[in-house]
């Protein structure tokens, strides 16, 4: 199962939902106004989660008329609406959670999402957490070996250390290969690599932020 969460960021930066709509075992969750973004695209959210402070009265009426369940939380809370939507998605026991609508607009919300997703990826290592927008896919990698499939829609591949240096990095199947290198905490050296066939990254410690991009 794949859970797709749409948050309330700018509509023009949302990822394409078509690949997920073709999958039978996919659920869509709206984080506050993200639910209306889904409805605008003909997608029925399984649930709306949030304080609903960014949804207008008419938008809420349309969501109610569509029969979308609503889980309302108080505006004064420790979690963001996106945090709550992520926790809700985990209850469905998906293999993957895709999050969109979080990289545009307010940068504080974007940074909060990165921290939450990084924490959840470490806690729920059996679930793949990804952040998508129109031109990028982001994922946090934990120590071990990871296979990265070629995708012509996202030809560029970058790696960044998140929180601490990433040690003993070996890259194969890419234009610029490495063996037992380090991704320093403030380094930009591993930016804009390219996949050749099927790529692999192996490292022994640290958290690695992987970004796949298109122009």
Domain limits, the chain: 2-134, 140-213
CATH class of 140-213: mainly beta
3-state DSSP: the chain helix, strand, coil percent, rounded to 5? Answer: 25, 35, 40
- Contact of 16 with 40, CB cutoff 8 Å: no
The CA distance from 117 to 123, in Å, is 10
* pLDDT in the model for residue 198: 87
Number of separate helices (H) and strands (E) present in the chain? 5, 13
* pLDDT in the model for residue 66: 86
Using alpha carbons only, what angle is made at residue 177 by residues 197 and 215, rounded to the nearest 5 degrees? 60
The closest alpha carbon to 170, from 207, 205, 201, belongs to 201
* pLDDT in the model for residue 106: 80
What does the pLDDT average to over 175-190? Answer: 96
The CA distance from 146 to 42, in Å, is 35
CATH class of 2-134: alpha beta
Global confidence as pTM = 0.92
pLDDT tens digits along 63-95: 888 888 988 887 777 788 899 999 999 999 999
Parallel, antiparallel or unpaired: strands 178-183 and 156-161: unpaired
- Count of Cβ atoms closer than 10 Å to residue 198 Cβ: 11
Distance, C-alpha 59 to centroid of its chain: 25
The closest alpha carbon to 16, from 98, 105, 89, belongs to 98
């Amino acid at each position: 199962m794949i859970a797709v969460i749409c948050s309330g960021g700018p509509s023009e930066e949302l990822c394409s939902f078509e690949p997920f709509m073709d999958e039978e075992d996919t659920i869509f969750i709206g984080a506050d106004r993200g639910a209306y973004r889904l409805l605008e695209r003909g997608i029925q959210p399984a649930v709306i989660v949030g304080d609903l402070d960014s949804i207008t009265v008419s938008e809420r009426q349309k969501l109610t008329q569509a029969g979308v369940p609503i889980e309302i939380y108080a505006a004064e809370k420790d979690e963001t609406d996106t945090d709550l939507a992520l926790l809700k998605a985990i209850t469905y026991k998906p293999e993957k959670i895709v999050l969109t609508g979080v990289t545009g607009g307010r940068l504080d919300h974007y940074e909060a999402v990165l921290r939450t997703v990084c924490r959840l990826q470490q806690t729920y290592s059996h679930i793949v957490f990804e952040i998508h927008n129109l031109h990028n896919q982001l994922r946090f990698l934990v120590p071990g070996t990871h296979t990265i499939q070629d995708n012509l829609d996202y030809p560029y591949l970058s790696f960044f250390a998140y929180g601490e240096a990433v040690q003993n990095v070996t890259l194969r199947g890419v234009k610029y290969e490495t063996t037992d290198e380090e991704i320093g905490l403030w380094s930009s050296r591993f930016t804009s690599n390219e996949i050749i066939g099927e790529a692999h990254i192996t490292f022994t410690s640290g958290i690695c932020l992987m970004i796949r991009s298109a122009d």
